[in-house]
Amino acid sequence: MKKSLTVRDIVIAGVLGAVAILLGVTRLGYIPVPTAAGNATIMHIPAIIGGIMQGPVVGLIVGAIFGISSFLNATVPLFKDPLVAILPRLFIGVVAWLVYSGLRRKNEYLAIAVSAFLGTLTNTILVLTMAVLRHYLTAGVAWTVGLTNGIPEAIVGTIVTLAVVLGWKQIGKNKKSKISEDL
């Protein structure tokens, strides 16, 4: 694991953080669904990509930007609480990095897919757990939201992350992209 942030890490964290902010401010990151949650989200994907591509610190930074954006743009009391909106999001990219690091030597495609899936579930499970602990939701409602929103979000997150990371790294081709030369 790297000991300090490089200029590349800071730039990538900034770009992915900007994408997370853009998805939040424009509401493109929230997909309306007829469930108790009201919206499915893809805003966690930049944090997952940051964790996979640059490591846990970048994943944590992008997750923090996502959480702060969610907190500042909150339209429901649940996300006006920083323990629900920000704290759980810090772990998205970190979990994605841990899973990716553990699996990448066995199979790159599998490592990316599983880390994206589990990174998404990290967001869902930790946010819903905090919502229950902070008495915003009952456990039954949290389970319903987790099943109806969490699984579809994890599938979408896996597909989008695979497309972005495989394209970024140009896996399956003989030549890497210029932005992934130092990986």
Determine which helix (DSSP H) or strand (DSSP E) holds 30, and give its type and residue range: strand 30-32
Please tell me the least confidently modeled range out of 77-86, 155-164, 173-182: 173-182
Q: How many CA atoms, within 13 angstroms, populate the side-chain half-sphere of residue 135?
A: 0
Higher pLDDT, 26 or 115: 115
Amino acid code (one letter) for 138: T
Give the pLDDT band (50/70/90) at residue 175. low
Q: How far apart, in whole angstroms, are the C-alpha atoms of residue 40 and residue 15?
A: 23
Using the structure block, give the residue that is written with the tokens 């990716």.
100
Q: How far apart, in whole angstroms, are the C-alpha atoms of residue 2 and residue 14?
A: 18
Higher pLDDT, 39 or 142: 142
What confidence tens digit (pLDDT) does each residue in 18-47 have? 999 898 888 888 777 666 566 678 889 999
pLDDT confidence of residue 31: 75
Residue 79 to residues 21, 85, 132, 155, Cα–Cα distance (Å) = 15, 5, 13, 23
DSSP of 80-137: GSHHHHTGGGGGHHHHHHHHHHHHTTT-HHHHHHHHHHHHHHHHHHHHHHHHHHTTSS
On the question of pLDDT at 130 being above 70, the answer is yes
pLDDT confidence of residue 168: 86
Neighbours of 85 (CB within 10 A): 22
Q: How far apart, in whole angstroms, are the C-alpha atoms of residue 16 and residue 151?
A: 23
Query: Considering the chain, what is the average pLDDT of its residues?
Result: 88
pLDDT confidence of residue 73: 84
Q: How far apart, in whole angstroms, are the C-alpha atoms of residue 27 and residue 77?
A: 18
On the question of pLDDT at 181 being above 60, the answer is no
What confidence tens digit (pLDDT) does each residue in 63-80 have? 999 999 889 988 889 999
Average pLDDT over residues 41-58: 94
Q: How far apart, in whole angstroms, are the C-alpha atoms of residue 71 and residue 88?
A: 12
